[in-house]
Each structure stands twice: as C-alpha cells, then as structure tokens.
C-alpha cells in the first residue's frame, strides 16, 4: 500500500453487486411471504363480518337510498346500483331475484327490484332515475353472491341516468350515511327480543336473516317497513 505495488481498492465491488442482486431477489420472495401471510382477502372479509362494531358495512363513498339500495357513479351519467349490507342481513338468504329488464326505465323512489325469500316476495325501491343498460347476470344465476359481496360482485344494475347529479343529491353519503345506518340499527335493536339480545351479548352478530329472528310469522312485514315498501 505504500505505493510500490498495485492495490485494487474496489476489489470486492463485483462480488458486492452480485450479492445485492441476490439480496433483491431473495427480498422479493421474503417480503411477499411475510406481508401476505398477515392479511389475506378472505381473512379480512371474515374479520369485517364478525366485528361487533361493524355490524353493517357502509362504505362512505357510496350513495344510499333510505330503502337500502346504493348507487356508485361510474361516469357522468352512468351508475351502478346494488343492495346494501343491512338489507342483506335483514333478509338473509335470497332464493331468487327479479330485476327490471335491460332498456326499461326506473324511477327514484319507485319499486324496481324484487327479492324472493322463503316463498315470500319483497320489493325494493330504485335509488335513482334512468334506463337500465346492464344487469348482473352472475347474481341472477346465483343470488347468494349478493350476500357475499353486496358492494362488489353483488351489484345488480347498471343504469344510464341523465340527471344523475340531481338524483345523487337526494341520497345519503359519507359520514351522514354512517349516522343514518346507526339510527337504523338502533331502531332495529329496540325491536329485538331477548333471544337475539343474547346472541349479541356473547359477541355474536345479527345473523343473516335477522328479521326472522325478530318475528317468525310476520317477518316480511317488518322487512317491508325497513325497505319503505310497506303498503
């Protein structure tokens, strides 16, 4: 090193760079394994459903009709329509669905959907005006999809709505939506009998088809009351 022989001060650089490449590949694997094991899709979904505080999911970015249908604007005049989580839980397993035909007109606040549950038919209101341009065939074929993912795969209609903006103004969204669903829940709680109460105290959730838990005989009447379609 005193300057009479050559010393390569970068002698190990090549090996270091190879090591770094090796590290990066290994890290990719390592990180993906570490981070994946924690919160898989399914696990999170289940967690959401079982949490007491999360009785009813109300994503704040959607627009809700008080008859428990939702709207997701997809463009200036196009929106998706579905049924909210509360409705699913209240009704429980849906055996069949009746949706308006493609090309038919629906009107905000008018009856538009029909659910078939245990031989009973329950109607729901359209959350906006417009022409039905698409319906979710997948859910028609397999209505339980609606229950599994009410805000995603469980969507029902795609609607062309010329006055979407005006329609949205009549709907509830954001924090208000959460406040609203809390009120609905309190309303529901006040009608609950002790059997359901017990379920709740040990940390359970309102089982699917809560309406039946409340009133075996006239549950459909109760549902219509919540869906604002009671005659």
Partner 1 sequence: MTRREFLKLSISGMASFTLSGMFGSRLEAGEARAKREFMGVLVDTTRCIGCRSCELACAEAHGLPIPNIDDASVFSSPRNMDPSHWTVVQRYKTEKGEIFVKRQCMHCNQPACVAACLVRAMKKREEGPVTWDENCMGCRYCMVSCPFDVPKFEYDKAFGRIMKCNMCYERLRIGKIPACVEACPSEALLFGRRRDLLHEAKRRIYGSTGRYFPHVYGETDVGGTGYLYLSAVPFERIGFRTDLGTKAYPEYTTGFLYSVPIVLILWPAFLTGIHHLTKEKKRKEVER
Partner 2 sequence: MMEIGERAGRGYLLPSFGRLVVFLLYCAGLVLVFLKELKPKGKVFTPFNVITLPVILTGIFLVLRHLFEGLSAGSNVSQEFPWGVFIGFNVMVGVPFAGGAYVLAFVVYILNSEKYHPIIRPTILNGFLAYVFYASAIFLDLGRKWNMLNPFLGREFGVSSVLFLVAWHFLLYMIAQLIEFSPVVAEWLGLRRLRKVLASMTLGACVFGIALSTLHQAGLGALFMMAKGKIHPLWYTEFIPVLFFISSIFAGLSVVIVEGSISKRVFRDRMNDEYLNSYEEIVLGLGRAAAVSLFVYFFLKVLIFIHGQGWTYLEGGMGLWFLFEVLGLVLLPCIMFYEGVKRRSVNVIRTAAVITMLGIIVNRLNYSMIAYKWYVPLSARYVPTWQEVVITLTIIFVQLWIFRFVVNRMPVYGEVPEWAREEKRESVFAELGFTLAEGGERYAKR
Contact set with partner 2 (CB under 8 A): 8-10, 13-14, 17, 24, 28, 39-41, 43-45, 47-48, 59-62, 72-74, 76, 149-152, 173-174
Which of positions 24-43 make contact with partner 1 (CB under 8 A)? 24, 27, 31, 35, 39
Using DSSP's 3-state secondary structure scheme, residue 219 falls into: helix
Q: In 73-152, which ranges are continuous DSSP H helix?
A: 85-91, 137-141, 144-148
Contact 144, 93 (CB under 8 A): yes
Which residues contact residue 97 at a Cβ distance below 8 angstroms, ignoring those fewer than 6 apart? 113, 114, 115, 116, 139, 140, 143, 146, 156
Interface with partner 1 includes 13 (CB under 8 A)? yes
Residue selected from 43, 44, 166, 183 as contacting partner 1 according to rule CB under 8 A: 44
Residue 152: contacted member of partner 1, partner 2, none (CB under 5 to 8 Å, by partner type): partner 2
For residues 61 and 191, which CB has a smaller minimum distance to partner 2 in the complex?
A: 61
Contact 112, 146 (CB under 8 A): no
Q: Which residues bind partner 1 (CB under 8 A)?
A: 3-11, 13-20, 23-24, 27, 31, 35, 39, 44, 48, 54, 59
């Amino acid at each position: 090193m005193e300057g009479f022989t050559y010393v390569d001060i970068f002698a190990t650089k090549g090996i270091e760079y190879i090591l770094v490449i090796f590290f990066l590949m290994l890290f990719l694997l390592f990180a993906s394994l570490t981070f994946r094991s924690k919160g898989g899709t399914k696990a999170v979904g289940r967690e959401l459903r079982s949490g007491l505080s999360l009785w009813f999911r109300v994503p704040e970015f959607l627009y809700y009709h008080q008859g428990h249908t939702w709207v997701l604007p997809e463009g200036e005049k196009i929106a998706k329509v579905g049924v909210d989580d509360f409705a699913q839980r209240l009704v429980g397993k849906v055996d069949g669905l009746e949706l308006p035909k493609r090309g038919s007109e629906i009107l905000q606040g008018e009856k538009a959907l029909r659910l078939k549950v245990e031989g009973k038919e329950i109607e729901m209101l359209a959350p906006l005006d417009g022409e039905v341009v698409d319906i979710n065939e997948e859910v028609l074929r397999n209505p339980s999809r609606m229950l599994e993912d009410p805000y995603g795969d469980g969507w029902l209609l795609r609607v062309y709505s010329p006055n979407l903006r005006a329609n949205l103004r009549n709907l509830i969204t954001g924090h208000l939506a959460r406040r609203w669903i809390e009120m609905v829940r309190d309303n529901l709680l006040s009608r609950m009998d002790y059997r359901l109460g017990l379920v709740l105290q040990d940390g359970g959730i309102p089982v699917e088809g809560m309406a039946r838990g409340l009133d075996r005989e006239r549950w459909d009447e109760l549902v219509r009351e919540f869906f604002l379609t009671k005659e």
